[in-house]
Structure 1
Amino acid sequence: MFSRSKYLFRGPVTTLMLGLLSFLLVIGIVSSPEQTFQTSLQGLSLWWHIVFPSLLPFLVLSEMLIAYGWVHGIGVLLEPLMRRVFGLPGVSGWALTMGMTIGFPGGAQSTLQMVQQGDLTSREAERMTWLSHFCNPMTIIIVIGIGLLDQPSSGYWLLGIHWLSGILAFLTSIPFSRLIRNKQAGTQELTRQLNISKLPLFRKVWSAINKAHVRDGRSFGKLLGESVSHSVQTLMVIGGYIIMMAVLIHLVSYYIIPGVPTYYLAGVFELHLGAKAITSASALTPIIQWSLLSAMLGWSGLCAILQSISPLIKSGVRWFPFIMMRLLHGSYAFVLTLFLWKPMKLLGLEAQPAFFYWPNYATDLSPISGMWSRILLMLGWQGIILIILLLLSWSIVLTSSRRSP
């Protein structure tokens, strides 16, 4: 059955359908060149002012840290948490941190780099993409919370629900038998590698760093040049996706569903346009508006899905389970928002937080002058999340040592 489905996916019927859709897309672009040009400019502006400068430093940093082995050293410390809770190697904790701090496709790109280094198998990489696909915190807090909802505290609520629903979706999607096997493997790994009474922890961390760096073998100059080159190439592909999705939204709303405003379809294709659509819909009640925002953040849009899954297809990562995970993430986020609506209102949704507040961003969603401030904020998020994960991992080690005879 697997070979038959694989043949159907690559067979002549699929080829004919994709060719026909491409031909219709060309006709739509040619028939309305001015509107297509304007939507392309909107997608280009979004990529150039927000996506490119926000992601480039972190993609370069991630590849360099993996090559020098620092991610592997962190992985030794995160091994108890990642094995026991998620059934993944400790080194994958870095991809989780990247996904939670810089957003998609940062987690997927870190996963791809680990696959290329031989640190993750194809199945581990697939599950890691399920877990690390999160929206950028600054997008939720600043763009949505401050710029669109004009409620700074709302961004923090949406971010917390976004993270919680994503982790819950991952944990509930793993088959029970596989989860048991991973937990047993994690227990053996914990006993063998992380018993700090038998081997100094610092020595294990340093050994992991040194082995990974020797295995990579690139000099600093070569590593820096290749890291920048790979990151720019990745971002160029992302820019192409964003521009094409902006054009596709215009064509669908103009030809397939004429008369319907563009922003009603935007959430299915692109997250930023979808957030603007939902917050602009005056007919929605606040609770439905928030719930739809959470669901859209969990779904993330076809643009973000393609950005994350496309580079990993050759590594054996399947697209259908990934899409199902995004639907599950969005469903959990929708239900959690409905469930937590009254507590959020009681705890003061209108409260103005005194930290991480950037008022200039409320009026200008793409200030070049504030880009380094945003990068520093995301670095702060990375540090906070890493510390939390390390504390959780250390608590698992202490709990296991107390239970062992």
Structure 2
Amino acid sequence: MKRLLGTTLALGALLLGSACNADNDDANDTGDGPVTITVNGLPPDTDPVNRANFEKDVKDFTAKYPNIKIDAREGMMDAQTFSAKLAGGQLEDVFYVYFTDPQSLIRKRQVSDISKYLGDFPDTGNIKPQLLKVFSDEGGKVYGLPSQNYSLGLVYNRDLFTRAGLDPDSPPRTWADVRAAAKKISALGDGIVGYGDYSKNNTGGWHFTAEMYSRGGDVAVRDGETWKAGFHNATGREVLQQLKDMRWTDDSMGRRQLLEYADLLQMMGSNKLGMYLGTGSDIVNIVNQYKGKFAPLGLGPIPDGKGTLGGGDGYMFKAGLSPAKIKAGLTWLSFTTVNSERVDADSARSKSRNQPVGLPQPNIWVAGSGSEKRLLDARAKHGNVPKENFAAFAATVDTIPLKLEPPLAQQVYAVLDVPMQKVLTDRNADVDALLAAAETQVNGVLAGVR
């Protein structure tokens, strides 16, 4: 789920207490003097291009705002460390989240209200209301800001398509087409996998949800004032049965399974994978982090096209922060991520470093706003991607219905990892029994959602 994969926030009252009390010692600090804030999102050494960009941002920011010191930490939102850091009061002041997580953090009062400071940062007024709502409570108070959003499509290798006798300008439009193409690609041999899918660390549940949406199904549905599982049906069976058939009957998904986010990107970067569900941002990561070449990579619409899973990420503010730290954090975000004024310079910089500019993806700005216009102008001016590689996706990005993730998404995804794992590792897996068991567990997860 690239940057866009979440973590399970099964956090109890202990976490609430420790998070809310973490910064009480400076809660009344409203001075204008020097302030230090901790932020995460510093890319690792293994991602030198993005790390260099981040470090330059810190240097330029400090030069412009000498009274604000940025203490940058590596990492985004790691399932292995997030809960422990939150419980121990070690979470950064401004921290990265996926769209699946803000509502849980807000309900548990583990984040700071930033509403009254937003008027000092003009670009925040051009953020799409539906995206800002992800970071808001029912009363309209805001606790964070989005940085990007996405919709899923079909990432594919154009070179392997050509070698397999497929048209690289016409990616599969249905799941039946995906299965047929995967057979041809895997027949190339040499360890090449036709189609890849996830099944570990919540990524399997994420993709199961996406595949349900693409067929017109749901994972969670409203039942009066509550929610219940919506996948133990013919559509859910179609999803799992096709994966099972591709894995065991066609042998087009490879023998290595229990894959998570980085695995498929590495395979695509090494020209060993024909197709998988992903985003335009994945293509950037394949090139930057996994030594892939840009030219062979294509992006098509999600198969069947009855719906596509959309999500994104952003940053929130740790509970108990002083006004000075909140304003410093908003100044940092308004310099780095929520800043349409810098998109032209950023695009020019990316182009000069042979990084892709102009990939078709949704953006966070209100249509027709000055912020969106600056973004679209920069893409047109500096775009360096071969548009034919992404023409099929671009043609449908505004027509396929966009559906957000289910309530308590990461907890739901953790449950749905299991049926994904079973059908890909056990040729005797009982699809209906797996769905029935998952339904019971997901109903338990959703029981408290209102």
**TM > 0.5 between the two?**
no
Greater fraction helix: 1
TM-score, structure 1 length as denominator? 0.24
TM-score, structure 2 length as denominator? 0.23
Greater fraction strand: 2
